[in-house]
Structure 1
Amino acid sequence: MTAPTRLSTTLGMTRSLLVYYAQPWRRRALKRFYRDLVRPGDLAFDIGAHVGSRSRTLLSLGADVVAVEPQPAFADFIERHFAGKLKAFERVAVGADVGEIDLRISSRHPTVTSTSGQFIDRVGATAGFSAVTWDHAITVAMTTLDTLIARHGMPAFCKIDVEGAEAEILKGLSQPLPLIAFEYIPAMPSVAVDAVERLIELGDYRFNRVVGERHRFVTQDWVDGGTLLAELSGLGADSPSGDIYARLDR
C-alpha cells in the first residue's frame, strides 16, 4: 500500500460531504427518527463519526455527544467544525481491547475504511465494491466501550458504524446500554449474528432494524434476538445494508 495523494483524500472527503450533507431531506428524516429515541440532555456516543452527520443531528436534539473517529482526515474535520460543540472527541478506534490496531483506509471511498480485515476480504470481492481499493494503512490507538464509559459516563444511546468491526466493539462492553444501534451488512452476516448474540448475553434486549437510510423501523413491534436473527438469515447477500437497534427491556 502507498500513502494516499492529497487529491484522492480531497475527492474522498468531498464524496462523503455530498452523501451526508447535500441531501437535507434525509437529515430532516433522521432528526424526526432520532427525536423518538433521544431526549435533550441524554449522553450519546457516536462511534465511527466520519464527517459528523449523526453527531450534528444528535446535538440539534440537545444531546451531549461523545464522537469517536480514528481516520485522520475526518478526525481533523471534526476537530475543526465541531470545536466547542461536543462533550468530547476521541481520535481513536474502538475494539475488544485497549491497545493499537491497523486501520485500512480507502482514500477515494472513505466510508468503507475499516479495522476489520475480514470485512475487507469479504465485501471487497463483491460486485458492489469492485471500484473500491484500500490503498493505505496506519496504526491507530484503540480503546473499548468500557473505557469510554469510565471516562465520559453511561450513554443513553450508542451508535456504532465501523464497517465490519461492530461485534469486536461489543466484546469490549461488559454492561448493557439502554439503546444501541449498529450497522448490519447482509453480505457478511456473521458480524450481525455475533453482535446480537453478544447483546443477548449482556441483557434482555428487544430488536428492530432500519433498511439503508430510510430512517424508519421495518416493523412497529420490537422482537427478541432469535426472531431478528431468523429474519436476517432470510436476507440475500445482495440485500441492502442497514442498522439494527437494540433496546434494553427494563
Structure 2
Amino acid sequence: MLARAWGMGRSLAMYHGIPGRHRQLVRFYSQFLTPGDLALDVGAHVGSRVRAWRRIGARVVAVEPQPDCVRVLRLFFGRDPEVTILPGAVGAEAGRARIGVSSRTPTVSSMSPEWIRTVSADSGFSWVRWDHEVEVDVVTLDDLVDTYGVPAFCKIDVEGFEVEVLRGLGTPLRALSFEYLPPAHDAALAALDLVEGLGAYTYNYSPVETLRFASARWLDADGLVQLLERVRPLGRSGDVYARLAASG
C-alpha cells in the first residue's frame, strides 16, 4: 500500500506538479489539435495530456489499464462530458490480458513481458520491480475508431506494447505518437514499419519530456531511423511523432 501511494504521488508530481509544464503541453499539442477535434490517449496514466488537450478544446478518449491511475483520471475528469475514460488496454485483438504493474514506478507498468525482460537487463532499470499483475479488458484502435470516430491525434505510451497496439489499427490517422526507448530499439523499428503500412507519413522525434523536436524538418522513415541511431547511444527515451504527409 505504501509503495502504491508513493508511486502515485511521484507520478502526480512528475506530470502535474512542474511549474509551466501544462502551458508547454498546450503549446506543443496545439500543432496537432484544434477545438472540437477528437484525441485518443492510449496509456493515459494520470492525465497530463488529457488536461492539456481539454485546454485546447479537444474531446478526449483516455484508455488506461492501471486501476490506481483510472481512479485519478476519474477524480480529475470524471465530471467532464468531453472526456471518456476507458479502464483497460489497447492491443492487436479484443479480449483480456494482464499488465505487469510496478507499484513504486507506475510509469513503466507494461503489458509486454518481453519488454519487461529486455529493459530489466538495462542498468537504468536495475532498481525497478514489477511486483504484481492485473487482468484487464483489451480493445483495438479500430474498435475505438468505430465507436468514437477517427481521431485527429493519438498518443500511444504503453511501455513496449506499441507494436501490439498498432497491429490493431487499419485506419490511417492524421497524426500519432509512440514511445521510443533505446534498450527496445528493435521494437520501435517494428512499430515504425506498421505506421509506414498505414499511409504516407513524415516523422520527427522529441527526446524525453522536452516537448521539442530533435529535427528542424519532418523526415521520411529512413531519416527517422538515422536520427534514432544517433540518439540511441545516449540511452534516453523519447517519442516518435508521425503525421500524414498530406496534412502539411
TM-score over 0.5 (shorter chain): yes
Mapped to 1, the partners of 2:237 and 2:75 lie a distance apart of 30
Corresponding residue SS for 2:183: coil
Runs of 4+ in structure 1 deviating by more than 4 angstroms, as ranges, are none
* Per-residue CA distance 1:14-57 (angstroms, 9 max, x = gap): 01001111102222212111122210111000110000011000
Residues 67-106 of structure 1 mapped to structure 2, 5 A cutoff: 67-85=62-80, 86-106=82-102
Corresponding residue SS for 2:172: coil
Residues 1-250 of structure 1 mapped to structure 2, 5 A cutoff: 6-85=1-80, 86-250=82-246
Q: CA RMSD in A?
A: 1.1
Mapped to 2, the partners of 1:106 and 1:25 lie a distance apart of 28
TM-score scaled by length of structure 2: 0.96
Mapped to 2, the partners of 1:170 and 1:135 lie a distance apart of 27
Mapped to 2, the partners of 1:219 and 1:119 lie a distance apart of 27
Mapped to 1, the partners of 2:40 and 2:135 lie a distance apart of 23
In structure 2, the gaps of 5 or more residues are none
Evaluate the alpha carbon distance shift between residue 219 and residue 237 of structure 1 in structure 2; reply closer, same or farther with a 3 A threshold: closer
Cα pair 2:41 2:61 within 8 Å, conserved: yes
Quick one: which amino acid aligns to residue 13 of structure 2?
A: L
* Per-residue CA distance 1:54-87 (angstroms, 9 max, x = gap): 1000001000000010101111111122112243
Corresponding residue SS for 1:90: strand
Mapped to 2, the partners of 1:166 and 1:24 lie a distance apart of 30
Quick one: which amino acid aligns to residue 51 of structure 1?
A: V
Identical columns (%)? 44
Cα pair 1:187 1:238 within 8 Å, conserved: no
* Per-residue CA distance 1:168-202 (angstroms, 9 max, x = gap): 10000011100001110011111210111111111
- Give the stretch that moved more between structures: 61-70 or 32-41: 32-41
Mapped to 2, the partners of 1:137 and 1:237 lie a distance apart of 32
Mapped to 2, the partners of 1:87 and 1:214 lie a distance apart of 26
Quick one: which amino acid aligns to residue 103 of structure 1?
A: I
Mapped to 2, the partners of 1:15 and 1:212 lie a distance apart of 17
The structural deviation recorded for 1:235 is 3.3
Cα pair 2:77 2:83 within 8 Å, conserved: no
Cα pair 2:32 2:152 within 8 Å, conserved: no
Corresponding residue SS for 1:60: helix
Quick one: which amino acid aligns to residue 197 of structure 1?
A: D
The structural deviation recorded for 1:238 is 4.5
Cα pair 2:153 2:176 within 8 Å, conserved: yes
> In the comparison of the two structures, how many residue pairs are matched?
245
